[in-house]
Amino acid sequence: MASPPKTYLDLVKACDNFPYIEISQTPSAEPPEAVFYQLLLPGDSRPHGFLHPSVVAKLPWTPAFSVSAPSARPRTVQVLDGSNGQETADACNAALLDVVSKAADAGTFASLSRRRPSEDFRIPGARYPQTIRLRRAAAGLFGIACLGAHMTMYTRTAEGEFKIWVPRRSAHLKTYPGKLDSTVAGGVRADESPFECIIHEADEEASLPAPLVRQHAKSCGAITYVCASDAGSGHDAGLMATGVLYVYDMEVDHTVVPKPQDDEVEAFYLWGVQQIKEALLRGEFKTNCASVMIDFFVRHGIITADNEPDYLEIVTRLHRALPVPTSAT
């Protein structure tokens, strides 16, 4: 068994672990089996996702898509506009839902049946008035940018020391069972904002009432990364996953105690900074939650350029430039 990471930079690299290459140019640098297909939307030359060739080979493509030959450079999966410009977003959504539904019915990918099969993510950056949707369970297969929201809830002792609420994921979960997590976290659904995600996840996961969260939760930016999926992710290994995590802090007094409400959290612990540092460096945190906690430490002056030799690389790697658009411009 591989030894756990030993430094904060190791932890950030474990999350942001996809090679720093020009992904759209990989045909000139990678062997053919590793050349990803670009996901193209109608009238937009920017890739909105990157599909591994093994996924492209297995998906039951319909006439609503044009898939380039394996020898083509670049390799592309083009969504076609069956509406001839009249209802482009609707045409894209119907095409994507159809191919994912056919794959799920055929049992082509186990991930399509075990990860919230009816929930949608949005494809960020699409240049249409309406949202482009993709089943959450298929987001990893298509390599789109997945939006998440994470909140760190903390209190302070009389001496001003941080105490942070840290949950442990339930042992029965399909993804990262038993790992430590952010206080509250979830994927941002297609029709909600990151803050709305925090509101409902805080209730579902931690029994925190919406008025409390609306009053005290503060937006603190975002972290970004690109990674190759691993066994813990619920997808086949080697797929390209792009992550955008909106981060929030919520300072509370000692009377506010999170309690598990759904079956995703085993328990909450109120830990000091040193105890969390030790758990981080033992590799006990879910991969992207380790990066969220390190970002919290950076923002609150716990990790600084004076006490961390890899400070600048850590800060840079927490905010990676993404290979897919996040806005329409």
For residue range 70-81, what is the model confidence (pLDDT) as tens digits? 999 899 999 999
Average pLDDT for residues 151-157, to the nearest whole number?
98
Tokens 């369970």 sit at which residue? 137
The size of the chain, in residues, is 329
For residue range 228-241, what is the model confidence (pLDDT) as tens digits? 987 666 667 789 99
H-run or E-run covering 17: none
Mean of the per-residue pLDDT values of the chain: 93
Contacts of 2 (CB under 8 A, 6+ apart): none
Residue 243, pLDDT score:
97
**CA–CA gap between residue 100 and residue 87 (Å, rounded):** 20
Reply yes or no on whether the pLDDT at 28 is more than 50. Answer: no
Task: Specify the DSSP class assigned to residue 319.
Answer: B
**CA–CA gap between residue 177 and residue 169 (Å, rounded):** 6
Residue 81, pLDDT score:
98
For residue range 42-68, what is the model confidence (pLDDT) as tens digits? 999 999 999 999 999 999 999 999 999
Q: What angle do CA 223, 168, 270 make, to 5 degrees?
A: 85
pTM: 0.95
